[in-house]
Amino acid sequence: MCVAHNALADEVCRIPYENLMRCASSVPGLQAGLLQIISGDINRDQGLMLPLGAMSGEQRVAAFLLSLSRRYRDLHYAPHRFGLRMTRRDIGSYLGLSQETVIRVFTKLVHHGLIALDRRDVELTDVPGLTALVDCW
Protein backbone atom coordinates (compact mmCIF):
# COMPACT_ATOMS: atom_id res chain seq x y z
CA MET A 1 0.00 0.00 0.00
CA CYS A 2 1.06 3.52 -0.68
CA VAL A 3 -0.04 6.45 1.47
CA ALA A 4 -0.70 9.74 -0.28
CA HIS A 5 -0.92 13.07 1.52
CA ASN A 6 -3.09 15.87 0.23
CA ALA A 7 -1.28 19.00 1.42
CA LEU A 8 -4.25 21.25 0.70
CA ALA A 9 -6.87 19.29 2.61
CA ASP A 10 -4.59 17.73 5.25
CA GLU A 11 -5.98 14.29 4.52
CA VAL A 12 -4.30 10.96 4.10
CA CYS A 13 -5.70 8.27 1.83
CA ARG A 14 -4.47 4.78 0.99
CA ILE A 15 -3.84 4.01 -2.65
CA PRO A 16 -2.99 0.44 -3.62
CA TYR A 17 0.45 0.41 -5.24
CA GLU A 18 -0.84 -1.28 -8.40
CA ASN A 19 -3.49 1.43 -8.87
CA LEU A 20 -0.93 4.18 -8.32
CA MET A 21 1.43 2.67 -10.91
CA ARG A 22 -1.41 2.25 -13.41
CA CYS A 23 -2.38 5.91 -12.96
CA ALA A 24 1.24 7.04 -13.11
CA SER A 25 1.71 5.33 -16.46
CA SER A 26 -1.47 6.79 -17.96
CA VAL A 27 -1.43 10.36 -16.60
CA PRO A 28 1.22 12.58 -18.19
CA GLY A 29 3.62 14.01 -15.65
CA LEU A 30 2.35 11.99 -12.69
CA GLN A 31 5.18 9.47 -12.75
CA ALA A 32 7.82 12.22 -12.95
CA GLY A 33 6.10 14.11 -10.11
CA LEU A 34 6.00 11.01 -7.91
CA LEU A 35 9.66 10.28 -8.57
CA GLN A 36 10.57 13.87 -7.72
CA ILE A 37 8.69 13.66 -4.41
CA ILE A 38 10.24 10.31 -3.52
CA SER A 39 13.70 11.56 -4.46
CA GLY A 40 13.26 14.64 -2.28
CA ASP A 41 12.19 12.50 0.67
CA ILE A 42 15.17 10.16 0.23
CA ASN A 43 17.61 13.08 -0.02
CA ARG A 44 16.13 14.80 3.02
CA ASP A 45 16.16 11.62 5.11
CA GLN A 46 19.70 10.76 4.00
CA GLY A 47 20.84 14.27 4.90
CA LEU A 48 19.42 13.75 8.39
CA MET A 49 20.53 10.15 8.88
CA LEU A 50 24.19 10.42 7.83
CA PRO A 51 25.39 12.61 10.72
CA LEU A 52 23.18 10.95 13.36
CA GLY A 53 25.84 8.45 14.38
CA ALA A 54 28.04 11.24 15.72
CA MET A 55 25.22 13.01 17.56
CA SER A 56 23.99 12.68 21.12
CA GLY A 57 20.37 11.75 21.82
CA GLU A 58 19.48 15.40 22.40
CA GLN A 59 21.04 16.41 19.11
CA ARG A 60 19.26 13.61 17.24
CA VAL A 61 15.85 14.59 18.58
CA ALA A 62 16.51 18.30 17.96
CA ALA A 63 17.61 17.56 14.38
CA PHE A 64 14.51 15.42 13.89
CA LEU A 65 12.21 18.21 15.14
CA LEU A 66 13.95 20.82 12.98
CA SER A 67 13.65 18.52 9.96
CA LEU A 68 9.91 18.13 10.61
CA SER A 69 9.64 21.89 11.00
CA ARG A 70 11.25 22.44 7.58
CA ARG A 71 8.98 19.80 6.03
CA TYR A 72 5.85 21.47 7.45
CA ARG A 73 7.11 24.89 6.32
CA ASP A 74 7.64 23.53 2.80
CA LEU A 75 4.04 22.24 2.82
CA HIS A 76 2.86 25.72 3.90
CA TYR A 77 1.86 24.57 7.38
CA ALA A 78 2.84 26.17 10.66
CA PRO A 79 6.51 25.25 10.98
CA HIS A 80 6.83 25.72 14.73
CA ARG A 81 3.66 24.02 15.98
CA PHE A 82 2.64 20.60 14.71
CA GLY A 83 1.45 17.17 15.70
CA LEU A 84 3.85 14.28 15.96
CA ARG A 85 2.27 11.44 14.01
CA MET A 86 4.89 8.97 15.25
CA THR A 87 4.90 7.41 18.70
CA ARG A 88 7.89 7.94 20.97
CA ARG A 89 8.90 4.34 20.21
CA ASP A 90 8.73 5.00 16.43
CA ILE A 91 10.78 8.18 16.80
CA GLY A 92 13.37 6.25 18.82
CA SER A 93 13.51 3.50 16.20
CA TYR A 94 13.94 6.07 13.43
CA LEU A 95 16.71 7.88 15.31
CA GLY A 96 18.46 4.83 16.73
CA LEU A 97 17.41 5.62 20.30
CA SER A 98 15.34 3.81 22.91
CA GLN A 99 11.82 4.98 23.66
CA GLU A 100 12.97 5.90 27.17
CA THR A 101 15.77 8.07 25.78
CA VAL A 102 13.33 9.90 23.50
CA ILE A 103 11.02 10.55 26.46
CA ARG A 104 13.94 11.79 28.60
CA VAL A 105 15.17 14.07 25.80
CA PHE A 106 11.71 15.55 25.24
CA THR A 107 11.46 16.22 28.98
CA LYS A 108 14.88 17.89 28.98
CA LEU A 109 14.05 20.03 25.93
CA VAL A 110 10.83 21.15 27.64
CA HIS A 111 12.74 21.90 30.87
CA HIS A 112 15.24 24.07 28.95
CA GLY A 113 12.42 25.96 27.19
CA LEU A 114 13.34 24.74 23.71
CA ILE A 115 9.99 23.03 23.07
CA ALA A 116 6.52 22.76 24.58
CA LEU A 117 4.61 19.48 24.50
CA ASP A 118 0.96 18.57 24.83
CA ARG A 119 0.80 14.80 24.24
CA ARG A 120 1.60 14.50 20.52
CA ASP A 121 1.49 18.23 19.80
CA VAL A 122 4.84 19.99 19.86
CA GLU A 123 5.74 23.66 19.68
CA LEU A 124 9.29 24.72 18.90
CA THR A 125 9.60 27.63 21.32
CA ASP A 126 13.32 28.30 20.76
CA VAL A 127 14.33 27.41 17.19
CA PRO A 128 17.72 29.15 17.46
CA GLY A 129 18.41 27.15 20.64
CA LEU A 130 17.48 23.86 18.93
CA THR A 131 19.61 24.81 15.94
CA ALA A 132 22.58 25.63 18.19
CA LEU A 133 22.17 22.28 19.92
CA VAL A 134 22.36 20.46 16.57
CA ASP A 135 25.16 22.67 15.19
CA CYS A 136 27.47 22.02 18.14
CA TRP A 137 28.23 18.44 17.06
> Any bridge partners for residue 117, and if so which?
122
- CATH class for the domain made up of 56-137: mainly alpha
Residue 43 has pLDDT above 70, yes or no: no
Q: What is d(CA 3, CA 5) in angstroms, rounded to the nearest whole number? A: 7
Residues 60 and 95: beta-carbon distance below 8 Å: yes
13-34: pLDDT as tens digits: 778 878 888 888 888 788 777 7
Per DSSP bridges, beta strands 121-124 and 115-118 are antiparallel
Torsion of CA 86, 54, 51, 91, to 10 degrees: 0
- The full set of domain ranges for the chain reads 1-54, 56-137
User: What φ, ψ does residue 14 adopt, rounded to 5°?
Assistant: -90, 135
What predicted TM-score, i.e. pTM, was given to this entire model? 0.66
